[in-house]
Every structure is written in structure tokens, then in C-alpha cells.
Structure 1
Amino acid sequence: MTETKFDVAGIGNALVDVIADSDDRFLIANGIEKGGMTLIDAARADELYGRMGQAIEMSGGSCANTIAGLASLGGRGAFFGKVKNDQLGAVFAHDIKSLGVHFPAPSAEDGPPTGRCLILVTPDAQRSMNTYLGAAQNLGPDDIDPAVIEAAAVTYMEGYLWDQPGAKEAFLKAASIARKAGRLVSLTLSDSFCVARYRDEFRRLVRDEVDLLFANETEILSLYEVDLFDEALARVKAECKFAALTRSEAGAVIVADGEVHVVDADKVAKVVDTTGAGDLFAAGFLYGLARGHSPVHSARLGAMAAAEVISHYGPRPQVSLAKLAKSRGL
């Protein structure tokens, strides 16, 4: 087996997040689906951007946020995502490389601009995302470096990628390489709307390719088309070696080799913005598992990281998660 050089190799949409306060009236007036992720074109992105209030702009994308969280914990991460050689692309590449993350995919010289996600945060801390994929949609199998996948303990993919055929091929290529190298393959379902679009494909993927599944309660119920969480839990327990199912303030349910564990959520004085909560939970869990910690300990790291990120705006930690973990005895 190739020496482990990376804890996690992530494959995802390379996006710049634009985050602004909003209210339900704005969402309704602009035809925005609350709490979900909607793919939009360049014209719609320009239209919404012009209507949004004062915003914070920062590098984002679900999987990239997870890898950033992993790096904050002291983990060794690699990220495959596509940006264009433009201003936003340079910002994204600088941000992720500054964290010590290996970012090997070359920037595109032509084609659509770097993608962005317009995020409206309502007073209940729910985020409604409108995503223009731009250059991110052109990620393909040729962008995957087999040597990096072989050297990563876990290959991790965001479900959002399933919207693009080339990105889907990239993940299937990476999953095959990881399996042949004896590594773990992991998937996050990303969004219940995404699950509804690709339910049958995701079921096959979970059953045949995935060792570690991440999902929140809504996503896992949608995947198996059941009404009760325990029914979904029984299904995933039969199909995955590991699963981390998050239930907001109710904590997380962890499946590990047929055993089920419940891990409490960390308390937060005030939930400001739920953007990145699932991404950062995955960061903590992946870091712990890759470093040989138990699934329960790994979930506690995930709960700690998720609590930190929902206490402020933005999808990435504002403090060192490694120092935070040390202060908490984790």
C-alpha cells in the first residue's frame, strides 16, 4: 500500500461564497427556495447579487469547507476543484493553499468564470443557497491525480457534484483508485433536493461504493423514502461500514461496524449562521477517523467543529480547531 500522505482527499465544487442577511419576504419576492440549494445561471447570479444587501465574500464550497476544517484541526488535506484564472479563482486558490491544503488542479484559461454561491441567511439562521457553478462544473476525470488518491486515507466527495456528468466521472474514477489502494471512500449527500434528483443513483452508490456516509436527518429520510428516522437508520446500518447522521440540536447518530452510538451536540450560546455546519462536522469526523480515533471520539470532534462554525457568519472556522480541541481535552 502507498504511504499515507494525506488524511483526506476531497473532490468538490470550488466556489466563492457571498453571504448576506435576508428575510422571508425577500426570499418569496425573488422566488428563492428556503433552506435548500438551487442551481442558477450567470444572468440569475448577476440579478440576485444586485438585489442582495451588504455581503461577506469568502472562499467556500461544501467539500472545500470540510478540507479547510480538517486543516484547522492539523490534518493533511488535498482538494480537487476547478476555478478559472480570474480574480475570484486567484482568491480561492490563495485561500485554500494558505491553509496548507494541496490544491493540484490547474486553473482554466477559458470557459466560464469561477463559480460563486449566493447565500441568504434569515433570522432563524437558515441559509438559502443559489449556486452558479461556473468553472466548477468543468471538473472532470483528467483533473484527478491518482497518486494523491492512493496516498489519502479517505477520499471524500460532496453529493452536489452529481449534477455534472464530468464531475460524476471524476468521483467514480477516484473511488475506483481508492478502493484498489485499500482506502476508504466517503460521500456526503449534501442536500435533500440533491437527493431527490438522484435518489436511485445515490442508493446504488451508497450500497456499492461508499464506506462512510454523511447525511442529515432530512437527507437520509429522503434517500430511503421513509418517514421515521429509525427506519432509515436500519437501512444505512445494513449498507455502510460507517455513517454519521446529524440531527441538528439533537446531536448525531453514528454507525460503525454494525454498532450504533449517539453523540450529543455541543451547546452554542447563539446560532448565527448554519452555513457549513454539516461540512465542519464532517471535517472533525474525518480527521478523527483518519488519525485512528474511535468513531465516537471522531463525532465529538465533529460536534465541536460544527458548534464553532454556526456561532459566526461564514462556513469556515475563525479559530484554530486544533487549539480548541486541545482546550476541550479532545
Structure 2
Amino acid sequence: MSDTRFDILAMGDAMVDVIAPASEEFLAEHKLPRGSMQLLSPEAADKLYDAMGVAEEHSGGSAANTMAGVAAMGGKVAFIGQVADDQFGRIFRHDLHALGVHFDTPPIPGPPPTGRCLILVTPDGQRTMNTAPGASHELVASQLDPQLIRDSAVLYLEGYLFGPEKPRAAMMEAIDIAHGANRKVAFTLSESVCIAERRDPFIDMIQGGGVDLLFCNGEEARVLTGAPSAEAAMAQLGDHVPLMVVTDGPNGAMAATSGETVRIDAAPVDKVVDTTGAGDLFAAGFLFAHCRGAGLEKSLQTGAIAAAEVISHYGARPEADLKELISV
């Protein structure tokens, strides 16, 4: 949009990912939910961190990863998220700025510390996430910059952050500001384990017209709606969400709007190394193409290419030059 400063502004957890390989035995020993996500206290996170093997540290957070991907494609993006004034907080800020993402949310003194996500990756590339949200769940509406929201064509919200009362209130305020400025609101459900305790607020927001574009995978769509299939869930939500995008891992993805449904195959990848960030980068590719006026099929294909790149290596941020891989 010509009257905006940014293509996309995201709100989400401001996290540092700590990624290490792990055996199935390690997951069983520590009672970790394989392939899923659990919340940890800072103390429990410290204990698991001490038990992990050699790790890589990357600035992360679902929506922040998506903005990093869009920036790598040449998009103009910004991020709102809460960090503490500590080492991880400074790492997070530095990394976003280095990637070209506008980020100026003031840090809080702490405690709690900046959030961490301890990610264990098994030999098949599956990731098990153990999240200590820390300061990220201290985001409040007073930290919002209304003009930044008005200056962005799309407001992108992360489901992980929608549970706690304070950041949820901030998100609802941001939705009102965005829609008041005739901007679009996109939302990602983030993780099926988050949905059960947040289902009613999610449904209320969606049925209230808060979401213009909904991202989820098939399991999340079924859990949210109780429908027997992703297709049935899309039909059920179609009256409330103008555009819905559902991913299905190696089976590809589909998008539906105004009675039109488009399906694509997954992009090829030589070897799946780490599925961390696959959904985040899919959203990045889709949003980047969509903001440039691409149709559903092209937007889905761009998302699939970005997702294929990120699962070919450790970490949830792209390593290859995405500008060379996509054509939008």
C-alpha cells in the first residue's frame, strides 16, 4: 500500500531460541512432549538448559521469525515484543536490527528475564519446544505505538502471545487501531496445544470480525472448530474469516477465500534437518507475496519455498538468499 511505511507489523513473543540435537531417550528421560510445546518456569528452563548438549543460540519467537523472513525477501517490516534489559534482550534487539526489522519496544528492567525457547531436535528433524516466556508476557497496551500500527498495511498477531491477560489486551487494542485505520489483521494460531485453554477467546475474536487472514495447520484448525477435517474447519470459519491458509507439512497447503480454494504441493527439500520455523517462514512467504498483489497460488508457493529453505538447516531464520529463491 502506497500510504504505509511498513508492509507488515508483527506482535509476538520476543524470544531467544536455544537449539540442540537430542535423542529419543533424552526426551523420555526428561518427560518432554515429543514434537510439541510446553511452558516452563525460568527455574525449570535453567535445569533443562544445563542438561542439554552443545547448543546454538538464535533470536527467535514465531512472529519475529516471520518478520525476519519477510525482511530477507525485501519486505518492509516492524515488530512489537517485550524483552528485558539483559544479555538475551540485547541479543534479540541486535539481531532484529541487523536483519532490517524495525524494533523499538522499550525493554523492562526485569525480572522476569528475556524469554527463552529450548528446542530439542531429534534425528528425524522433529523439534520439541520448551518455552519460558519471561518478559515477553509482560507486554502491555501502553507499550504500543498507535502510529506504527497505522503506518503498517498488515498487523500480524501470534497465537502464543494471546493467552496471558496483559498481552492479549494489547493485541485487542492493536486490532482496534489497525481496523480503525483500514488496515488488515492477520493471525496465526501458533500451536495446537495452546488452543484448548484459549479456544473461547480465539472464537470470540474471529466471530467478532477481528481477523482478516488466519494461518494454521490442519490439526490446529480441527482443534479450534471441532470439525473432522481441515476442509470442514475452513468451511465453518469461512463466514467470519475472509482468507484462511492451512498448512499440512509434507502434503502442502491450501487457501480459501470467497468460495475459492487453492491447493499446492510442498516445495522439495533434499533433507529435513530441523522443522523449527517451518510455519513461521511459510507465513513470511505468503504474506510477502500477498502484500505485493500475488494470487493465492503464487502466495502459497512462495510460502512453501521459504518453509523448505528453513527446514533444511538448524534454526528458524533463513540462511540462503530468499531473494534468489522466490520470484514475486
* Residue matched to 2:71: 71
CA deviation profile, 1:189-233 (whole Å, cap 9, x unmatched): 000000112112111222221000000111001011122232112
* Residue matched to 1:266: 267
CA contact (8 A) 1:7 1:291 kept: no
In structure 2, how many angstroms separate the alpha carbons of the residues matched to 1:230 and 1:147?
Answer: 38
Indicate the larger mover: 79-88 or 199-208: 199-208
What is the percentage of aligned positions where both structures have the same residue?
47
TM-score, normalised via structure 2 length: 0.97
Secondary structure of the corresponding residue to residue 103 of structure 2: coil
CA deviation profile, 1:12-60 (whole Å, cap 9, x unmatched): 0000000011122211211111122111101100100011111111100
* Residue matched to 1:293: 294
CA contact (8 A) 1:2 1:151 kept: no
In structure 2, how many angstroms separate the alpha carbons of the residues matched to 1:152 and 1:258?
Answer: 28
Secondary structure of the corresponding residue to residue 204 of structure 1: helix
Counterpart of 2:215 in structure 1: which amino acid? F
Q: Which runs of 5+ in 1 are unaligned?
A: none
Counterpart of 1:56 in structure 2: which amino acid? E
In structure 2, how many angstroms separate the alpha carbons of the residues matched to 1:271 and 1:235?
Answer: 33
In structure 2, how many angstroms separate the alpha carbons of the residues matched to 1:88 and 1:265?
Answer: 34
* Residue matched to 1:80: 80
In structure 2, how many angstroms separate the alpha carbons of the residues matched to 1:59 and 1:14?
Answer: 8
Indicate the larger mover: 29-38 or 305-314: 29-38
Counterpart of 2:56 in structure 1: which amino acid? I
Shift, 1:2, TM fit: 9.0
- Once the two structures are superposed, the pairs formed by residues 97-112 of structure 1 within 5 Å of their partners are 97-112=97-112
CA contact (8 A) 1:238 1:258 kept: no
Shift, 1:295, TM fit: 2.1
In structure 2, how many angstroms separate the alpha carbons of the residues matched to 1:229 and 1:101?
Answer: 33
* Residue matched to 1:137: 137
* Residue matched to 2:89: 89
Shift, 1:320, TM fit: 1.9
CA deviation profile, 1:152-198 (whole Å, cap 9, x unmatched): 11101110012211110111011001111111111100000001121
Counterpart of 2:247 in structure 1: which amino acid? T
In structure 1, how many angstroms separate the alpha carbons of the residues matched to 2:124 and 2:89?
Answer: 32
CA contact (8 A) 2:15 2:117 kept: yes
In structure 2, how many angstroms separate the alpha carbons of the residues matched to 1:299 and 1:229?
Answer: 16
Counterpart of 2:39 in structure 1: which amino acid? L
* Residue matched to 1:54: 54
Counterpart of 2:313 in structure 1: which amino acid? H
Indicate the larger mover: 100-109 or 42-51: 100-109
CA contact (8 A) 1:254 1:263 kept: no
Shift, 1:109, TM fit: 2.1
Counterpart of 1:293 in structure 2: which amino acid? A
CA contact (8 A) 2:230 2:246 kept: no
Instruction: Count matched residues.
Output: 327
In structure 2, how many angstroms separate the alpha carbons of the residues matched to 1:38 and 1:160?
Answer: 11
In structure 1, how many angstroms separate the alpha carbons of the residues matched to 2:26 and 2:75?
Answer: 40
In structure 1, how many angstroms separate the alpha carbons of the residues matched to 2:71 and 2:202?
Answer: 28
* Residue matched to 1:250: 251
The Cα RMSD (Å) is: 1.3
Secondary structure of the corresponding residue to residue 317 of structure 2: coil
CA deviation profile, 1:38-84 (whole Å, cap 9, x unmatched): 11101100100011111111100000000000000100001001111
Secondary structure of the corresponding residue to residue 238 of structure 1: coil
TM-score, normalised via structure 1 length: 0.96
* Residue matched to 2:35: 35
Secondary structure of the corresponding residue to residue 235 of structure 2: helix
Q: Does 1:323 align with 2:293?
A: no
Indicate the larger mover: 267-276 or 203-212: 203-212
Secondary structure of the corresponding residue to residue 85 of structure 2: coil
